Amino acid sequence: MSNDAVFDAFLAKQLEEGLAWAKNIGVLSLSPIPGAPPSRYVAHFVDCKGLVQQNDGRIVEFDQFMVGIYFPEDYLRHVEIPRVLTYLGPHPSPFHPNIRPPFLCAHLVPGTSLVDILYACYEVWTYSIFSAADSLNPAAAQWSRQQDRKRFPIDRRPLKRSPRRTNLTPMEAK
Amino acid sequence: MNAYQAKIIRRLRRDPSRPRGKRVLVVGCGNIGSQLVPLVARMKGIGMLILVDCDGYEESNLSSQSISSSDIGRAKAFVQARLARKLNPRLRVLAIHARLECVPLGWLRSDVMLACLDSKEARRCANEIAWRLGTPLIDAGIEASGLLARVNIYRPAANQPCLECAWDRRDYAQLPVKHPCDAGLGPSTPTGAPACLGALAAALQALECLKILAGDLSNAGKQILIEAGTHRHFLTGFSMHPKCRFNHAGWNASKISRTPAQLSVGAALRLASDAGASLTFAGMHLARQLDCPGCGFSPRVYRLEERLSRRERICPQCGQDLLVAGFHSQSQLKTKEVEPVLAARSLASLGLRGGDFISIKGSQRESFYELGGAPAVARSRLITRSIP
């Protein structure tokens, strides 16, 4: 526990919401690194298509990635994205304008929730969102500019689906 | 013992590093700060003035700041320090040419802190330092378009509001965010305000400073605003936000005589009797590896990220800025995880300086320590320091 009740409450809420969301969407394994409450997480997305560059230079689809998320003590008041997000693999050469291991660039503001961070990471990985202007990987930025925009996103499945539980009961005939 | 011997003994017993009179800290020597320094230098009862600014004067500053053309190209803090000494030759001055967040907290101990800053982020930092040190803060600001000059007075104490108590999520969203794809935070935007508006804010700030030094904190938690366009004067009170994102904690640090070069990591951990203690660095992070977003060069280091010099941050292969990824840094060293090699390393080798704070967190409590070796201002009348 830190001496900061507001930050501790934030962390506790992220743990609860993050685990519930990960369980709900099914393509994410979220592992909190022990702490009371945890301030670090390893998120392993599976079955999410992004692009990687193979040793022979070919650009191919790859369906998993891992990202480390760290909430430093001043996270609610100040954000440094390199400190919050770390690309952890498993592929060493992701091909994306805004990813260059170990950095992953996404839009965050102080206090962005864990679920929103994870969603932002998914959007970056699948090319739902990318910025070719401020790029970490110039080759990927140039490549993405040359592509037909209809090619993106690589994975079109929306992630933030909350299952609708509707109980349908047949109406009785009058 | 005769009277003469008693006088000598009294003189020897007096702490030479503690000058007589009050200490005033001025952060920012721009439009408001450059008008404020002469006012503070002329105040009675001031023993020491500490000036902090990371910039130098430019030609564009001539129209709005209290400087002469010969000051262009010089560090703002050093220019104002010399001016203050001209006005009051008895004044001890410590001028620091550095970003506020890079200055060891022990150097900033004062009776009142006067913030003359031009960005929200810098104000957030000043507010945090004031509360950590328990120093009353007078924050001044101006707005050119509305001809507004204001000062806010804060007193770090229980149930007192801080600067961030009045902020909501939109204020935080306006703060600059450091991205790995840019070379850091750019320079702040000039306010474009005339010198007279800065002088008005400086005068208000100096008046409130006099009151605080006289022990009058009745304006704490209030904002004094003058709308010069219509000559209206407002006094607004603030209250503490129970869910303020800043924790309002003070760091009541004990001074230790050993300097960072004389204290090892292991010895620092032994300051606490708790076997499960951990060492933290007053909010700073220990980088284990640097990474270049340009060429992928990734040297291993063991240095505090906030204490890396400009030279250490440049990639030797491609010249881009080296960054620290969150999973390649840590905010604390736990006793059980510290290897013997690391335990033997001095705190100076990690980047700590004299006057820096460390804390030892045990299972029961957290204790703060100020490392020895802060600039001894009594030995000289003017000390200048640059932190790259």
pLDDT at site A16: 93
B144 and B64 Cβ atoms separated by less than 8 Å:
no
A11 and A72 Cβ atoms separated by less than 8 Å:
no
Q: Which residues of chain A have a CB within 8 Å of the CB of B180?
A: 81-82, 100, 103-105, 136
Tell me the average pLDDT of chain B: 88
Q: Is A108 on the interface with B (CB under 8 A)?
A: yes
CA separation (Å) from B325 to A156, B295, B330? 29, 15, 10
Q: Which residues of chain A have a CB within 8 Å of the CB of B329?
A: 83
| Rounded CA separation B162/B166 (Å) | 8
> How many CB pairs lie under 8 A apart between chains A and B?
105
Confidence of residue B196 (pLDDT cuts 50, 70, 90): very high
Tell me the per-residue pLDDT of A90-114, one tens digit each, with 9 for 90 and over.
Answer: 999 999 999 999 999 998 999 999 9
Domains present along chain A, CATH in parentheses = 5-151 (3.10.110.10)
Taking alpha carbons only, the member of A82, A4, A74, A152 closest to residue B185 is A82
DSSP secondary structure code for residue A34 in this structure: S
pTM over 0.90: no
Mutation site, A1, A6, A11, A80, interface B, largest B CB count within 10 A: A80
Measured distance between the N- and C-terminal CA atoms of chain B, rounded to whole angstroms: 51
Tell me the per-residue pLDDT of A23-33, one tens digit each, with 9 for 90 and over.
Answer: 888 888 999 99
Q: Is A128 exposed, middle or buried (0-12, 13-18, 19+ CB in 10 A)?
A: middle
With 50 as the cut, is the pLDDT of residue B379 above it?
A: no
Q: Nearest-CA distance from A174 to chain B in Å? A: 55
Collapsing DSSP states into helix, strand and coil, what is residue A19? helix
Instruction: Give the ipTM.
Output: 0.83
- Displacement of CA B266 from its chain's centroid (Å): 28
B177 and A105 Cβ atoms separated by less than 8 Å:
no
Indicate the residue of B164, B181, B366 with minimum beta-carbon distance to A105.
B181
Element containing residue A14 per DSSP (H, E): helix A5-25
